Structure 1
Amino acid sequence: MWERIERVAQPETEPLSLAEVKQQCRVDTVVTDDDAFLTRCIRAAREAIEGPDGRGLAIMAADWRLTLDCFPKEVRIPMGPVLSIVNIVYVDGAGAAQTLDPADYHWRPGRYEARIQPAYGKAWPAARSQLDAVTITFKAGFKGTEEDPIKLGNIPEPLRVAMMMLIAHWYMVRSTTVVGTVPTEIQHGFEDIMNMFAVGHVA
């Protein structure tokens, strides 16, 4: 299932500000030499957590796409939190793309997943027998990150801390090897925090 999920768009903003990250890395606010690097690290740290390439979470509201070859009895989106189902598009018997009426299905969000079924008295339409016949676009992220202005208060603080710890590590260690030391993972660090939110393929 994970290989069938892809990101449609990046979020409009990040869960951490540059100022927060510079404070974590103990960089004076007036020093701008590494601002571009730290800005890239913020995005990289978020992507290390989000979606199928990360830990199966969605932090900031953005559109994702799940592609299936047919309609199963129940569609399960194995990541989240899912904020809304943007649309469900399928290829009909004539090969034309059709958008399913939202009244023809209902969905239920879980903590970090969502399930979609036909509405009561309805059935899934007949999709053409082909690869990628069904496409489900959904918006996922913590509540409030889809609003304007964006609200970050519902993002669990451990996730923000985990991102800052990872960024601080990248800031201090800018190569793939460390010479002359024996690396030791810090207790209660990034991995321990991620295990608190383990979902999907890492649960």
Structure 2
Amino acid sequence: MPHPIPWSITRGSPGDVVTQTELKEHLRIDDSDEDDLIEDYRDTAERMVENELSISLQSQTLILRLDRFPAWKIPLPMPPLISVTTVAYTDVNGDSQTVSSSEYTVDTTSTPGNVHPAFGESWPSTCNISNAVVITYIAGFADAAAVPPEVRSAIMLVGGEGYENRERVTDLSLQDLAIYDRLMA
């Protein structure tokens, strides 16, 4: 049985990575009769690529929940990491606490980014409960221009596949695209 994902996402509105105009150019569509449909396929393609690659395409707030602090660093899913907003926990007495930002270091250059105790510090002890540690952070590319070109191409391919073959596409996955393996290599 798969384990639940211990993080949640508060997403911005989709559609910032590939514009509707770019997808229409990719599809060679000049009229605006199906703009709403094209926008839906673009939004879906962005989410599919984001989920498949486990990355944040645009700035979004994420929350990671852990039952306890690990020995040292905590990798933060859905890179690239921009910043850590809060590191909160339930102490051994059952009280909510927040770790001071001076007591931890944020590594935004690693992939995935991580947070770990500052030099000379250690993570505090927590109550023995589920989700005793809650880390709120922001991840995503600075803007659409910062998204790697191969990721933007994947979005256009998936959006185009959905639009062009909508009658046969029910559970479209990225692996169904003939070019997928080469694109993601």
Q: TM-score range by the shorter chain?
A: 0.7 to 0.9
The question of 1:65 aligning with 2:63 is answered: yes
Report what 1:92 is aligned to.
Answer: 91
Q: Report percent identity of matched pairs.
A: 24
Please list every run of 5 or more consecutive structure 2 residues that lacks an aligned counterpart in the other structure. 171-175
Amino acid at match of 1:109: T
Post-superposition Cα deviations, 1:137-189, rounded to whole Å, max 9, x if no partner, equal 111112x23xxxxxx322111111111011111011113469xxxxx853xx2
Name segments (4+ residues, structure 1) moved above 6 Å.
none
Cα offset for 1:129? 0.8
Higher helix share: 2
* Partner Cα separation in structure 2 for residue 139 and residue 41 of structure 1: 26
Report what 2:165 is aligned to.
Answer: 173
Report what 2:34 is aligned to.
Answer: 34
Report what 1:140 is aligned to.
Answer: 139
Report what 1:23 is aligned to.
Answer: 25
Q: Which has the higher contact order (CA 8 A, sep 6+)?
A: 2
* Partner Cα separation in structure 1 for residue 119 and residue 40 of structure 2: 47
User: Across the two proteins, how many residue pairs are aligned to each other?
Assistant: 177
Q: Confirm or deny: 8 A CA contact 2:14 2:46 kept in the other structure.
A: no
Amino acid at match of 2:46: R
* Partner Cα separation in structure 1 for residue 168 and residue 14 of structure 2: 30
TM-score by length of 2: 0.85
Report what 2:79 is aligned to.
Answer: 80
Deviates more, 1:65-74 or 1:37-46: 37-46
The question of 1:9 aligning with 2:1 is answered: no
* Partner Cα separation in structure 1 for residue 169 and residue 15 of structure 2: 32
Q: Confirm or deny: 8 A CA contact 1:85 1:136 kept in the other structure.
A: yes
TM-score by length of 1: 0.78
Amino acid at match of 2:48: A
Cα offset for 1:97? 2.2
Please list every run of 5 or more consecutive structure 1 residues that lacks an aligned counterpart in the other structure. 146-151, 179-183, 196-203
